[in-house]
Structures are given as C-alpha cells and as structure tokens.
C-alpha cells in the first residue's frame, strides 16, 4: 500500500498508509491528522489547504479552475498550495509529502 507523509504545523512528520483512491483529506481524517475539510470534500471551501512538497508538485494533476478559485480563499497560500480533497492517491504518489499550513 502506498504511504504519504504529513508535516504538521510544529514540524512533526507523520507517515501513514495512503490507500489508492482516497483523497489526501480522507487519508488525513482516517489517521486523525488535523486537516479540517469543512465542506467534506465538495470543493466548497479551502479548509483542507495543504502545501505540497516541491519535489512532488509537478507529479500531481494540475488544479482545476474551481480549485484555484477556492485556493484564493486560503490563508498562507504558497506556490505549491493545493486542496487536500482534490489530490487523489495513486500508486505513483507513493511517498507524497504535504505540509499543513499555519493556522495563524
């Protein structure tokens, strides 16, 4: 099974099993990672904002216009910011690293 790493706000790294077909948001919830996802993955908010490690950013499909619009609402936006609900795990993403942005 693929794995991915969440880097929490305090810098703690948590490597977890990441089943193929689940979104980063769903994987976070499965492993009690503090990633909100208020709209439950319906692309109606930016509370599942993550920052993809630059080494992985080009391996993801490009964000849709709808995702880009929601990202405009995210705090602490960075060049590799994405919505966790829109990144779906595949075998090719085994080892993916995402950072949870600061909430302040």
Domain 3-99 has CATH 3.10.20.30: yes
pLDDT in tens, 10-67: 999 999 999 999 999 999 999 999 999 999 999 999 999 999 999 999 999 999 999 9
pLDDT in tens, 29-38: 999 999 999 9
Query: Please, are residues 76 and 53 in contact by the beta-carbon 8 Å criterion?
Result: no
Residue 104 pLDDT grade (very low, low, confident, very high; cuts 50, 70, 90): low
Per-residue confidence (pLDDT) for residue 21, from 0 to 100: 98
3-state helix, strand, coil in the chain (%, to 5): 25, 20, 55
What does the alpha-carbon distance between residue 32 and residue 28 come to, in Å, rounded to a whole number?
A: 6
Percent of the chain at pLDDT above 90?
95
């Amino acid at each position: 099974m693929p794995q991915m790493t969440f880097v929490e706000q305090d810098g703690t790294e948590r490597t977890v099993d990441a089943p193929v077909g689940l979104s980063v948001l769903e994987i976070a919830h499965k492993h009690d990672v503090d990633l909100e996802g208020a709209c439950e993955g319906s692309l109606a908010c930016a509370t599942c904002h993550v920052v993809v490690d630059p080494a992985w950013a080009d391996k993801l499909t490009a964000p849709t216009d709808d995702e880009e619009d929601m990202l405009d609402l995210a705090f602490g936006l960075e060049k590799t910011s994405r919505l966790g609900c829109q990144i779906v795990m595949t075998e090719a993403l085994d080892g993916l690293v995402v950072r949870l942005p600061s909430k302040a």
